[in-house]
Amino acid sequence: MILAFLTLVGGLVGLVVSGSGIVNGASTIGLRLGLPPLVVGLTIVAAGTSAPELAVTWSAASKGDVGLALGNVVGSNIANILLVLGLVAVIGVIPISRRARRVEFPVMILASVVTAGLALDGTISRVDGVILLIGLVSYISWMIIEARRRPNGIDSGMVEVEPPTGKRTVIALGLFVIGAVGVAVSAQFVVSGAEEIALEFGVPDLVVGLTVLAIGTSAPEVVTSVIAAMQGEREVAVGNAIGSNVFNLLFVLGLVSATQSDLPVADELIRLDLPVMIAAAALCIPFAITGNGITRWEGIAFLSLYTAYLSYLVLDGLENSAATPFGAIVLFVVAPAIAVFCAWEFRADRRRLHRRLSAPAE
C-alpha cells in the first residue's frame, strides 16, 4: 500500500516537472521556427499544460482502464472550477476579463455540454473524438484570426520577443525531449499506483480517476494560479482554469478517443459526474454575463461544493451506507442553500458596483 502511494505521488511530481519542461522547450522551439508568440501561446503552451492529463488519460485508456481515463478528464475539469477558482477567490476577488466573458467561458460551457451529449449513448467513439478535435481546431483558428483582425478586441496576453539563439534552441530541444520522456514514464507510474490503490481499498477506477488523479493532474493549474493570486495577478487563474478545461475536453479526450478504440462511458459518469461538470461550468455564467468578480465568499462556496462532491464520491466508492443520505442532503439542502447564498452575494456585488458607478467624481 505504501509503495503504491509513493508510486502515485512520485509519478504526479514527475508529471508536473516534465510538463513544465515540455511547455518551456516547445515554446522556445516554436519561436525559433518563426511562429508568432500568439500562435505559440494558443497552441504549444496550451497543449503543453494539458500534457499531464493527456499522458495519464492515454496510458490508462491503452491499458483498458477507461474509468481512470474518463474520470481523470472529467474530474480535472470539475477541480479546475470549484477547487482552483475557489482557492484563488479565497485569497482575493478574481476579476473577470473581457476575453474570459466573451470567449473562454462560452467555449468552455459549450465544450462541456457537447462532450456530455456525445457520451449519452454510453460511448465516446472515434467519430466523437474527431468531432472534439474539429472543435479544437475551429476554436484555435478563430482565436488567431480574431486576434490578428482586432488586436485590442481579444487580449492575447502575449508580447513580441526576440527569436531565441541557437544555444537556447538546443537547450529547449533537450528540455522538450526529456520532458516528453518524463511525462510518458511518469504517467505509467501514476496509472500503476492508482490501480494498486483502487484494488487495495476496493474503490472503482472511476472514483480514483475523479479524485486522486484529477487533483494530481490539476496540480500545475493549482500551483500557478495560487502563486499568481498571491502576486496580485488573480485574473490569470481564470485563463489557466478555463483554458485547461477547454483543452482537456477538445484536445485530450478528443485525441485519445479518436486514435484509440471507443471509450465506454459508465452509467455513474452520465448520471452524476458529467452533470456536475456542466453545473460547475454553469456557475460561471453569471460572471460571464455581468463581469462581476468572484468574491471570497463565492470562493468558499465553490470549495464547499467541491468538498461535498468529493466526500460523496469516496462514501459511494467505499459502498458506505451513509452515501445515500449524505448525497440527498447535499442535493436537496446544501446545494440549494449555497445557490441562494451565491445569488444573494451576486446581487450585493451588483448593488455595490452600481453605487460606485453612481457616486459623483471628486
Q: Quick check: is 358 in a domain? A: no
Q: Quick check: is 219 in a domain? A: yes
Say which residue the cell 484570426 belongs to. 145
For 75-132, the pLDDT digits (tens) are 999 998 999 889 888 888 778 777 777 888 889 999 999 999 999 999 999 999 999 9
Residue 46 has pLDDT above 70, yes or no: no
Question: What pLDDT is recorded for position 219?
Answer: 75
User: Could you say which DSSP state residue 261 is in?
Assistant: S
Q: Quick check: is 359 in a domain? A: no
Q: Residue 89 is part of which domain span?
A: 2-352
Question: What pLDDT is recorded for position 241?
Answer: 80
Question: What pLDDT is recorded for position 156?
Answer: 46
Please report, rounded to a whole number, the percentage of residues in the chain having pLDDT higher than 70: 82
118-122, 157-161, 236-240: which is most confident: 118-122
Question: What pLDDT is recorded for position 202?
Answer: 79
For 333-347, the pLDDT digits (tens) are 877 877 777 677 667
Say which residue the cell 476577488 belongs to. 93
Cell of 323: 452515501
CATH of the domain at 244: 1.20.1420.30
Residue 157 has pLDDT above 50, yes or no: no
Residue 147 — pLDDT band, cuts 50, 70, 90?
Answer: low
Rg of the chain on CA atoms, in Å: 21
Residue 158 has pLDDT above 50, yes or no: no
Residue 152 — pLDDT band, cuts 50, 70, 90?
Answer: low
Q: Quick check: is 58 in a domain? A: yes
Average pLDDT over all residues of the chain: 81
Contact criterion met (CB below 8 Å) for 145 and 2: no
Residue 277 has pLDDT above 90, yes or no: yes
For 278-313, the pLDDT digits (tens) are 999 988 888 767 667 788 888 888 999 999 999 999
Residue 252 has pLDDT above 90, yes or no: yes
Q: Quick check: is 98 in a domain? A: yes
Residue 354 has pLDDT above 70, yes or no: no
Of residues 127 and 212, more confidence is placed in 127
Of residues 246 and 224, more confidence is placed in 246
Residue 200 burial (10 A CB sphere; 0-12, 13-18, 19+): exposed
SS3 203: coil
Question: What pLDDT is recorded for position 115?
Answer: 96
Q: Quick check: is 231 in a domain? A: yes
Of residues 354 and 74, more confidence is placed in 74
Residue 150 has pLDDT above 90, yes or no: no
Q: How far is it, in rounded angstroms, from Cα 131 to Cα 295?
A: 36
Residue 352 has pLDDT above 70, yes or no: no
Q: Quick check: is 362 in a domain? A: no
Q: What is the mean pLDDT of residues 265-283?
A: 92
Look up the pTM and report it: 0.83
Q: How far is it, in rounded angstroms, from Cα 294 to Cα 305?
A: 15
Residue 159 — pLDDT band, cuts 50, 70, 90?
Answer: very low
- Sign of the alpha-carbon torsion through 155, 161, 163, 164: negative
Residue 89 burial (10 A CB sphere; 0-12, 13-18, 19+): buried
Q: Quick check: is 361 in a domain? A: no
Cell of 331: 442535493
How many independent structural domains does the chain possess? Answer: 1
Question: What pLDDT is recorded for position 312?
Answer: 92
Residue 317 has pLDDT above 60, yes or no: yes
- Sign of the alpha-carbon torsion through 59, 138, 104, 130: negative
Alpha-carbon distances of 269 from 193, 256, 280, 289, rounded to whole Å:
22, 18, 15, 29
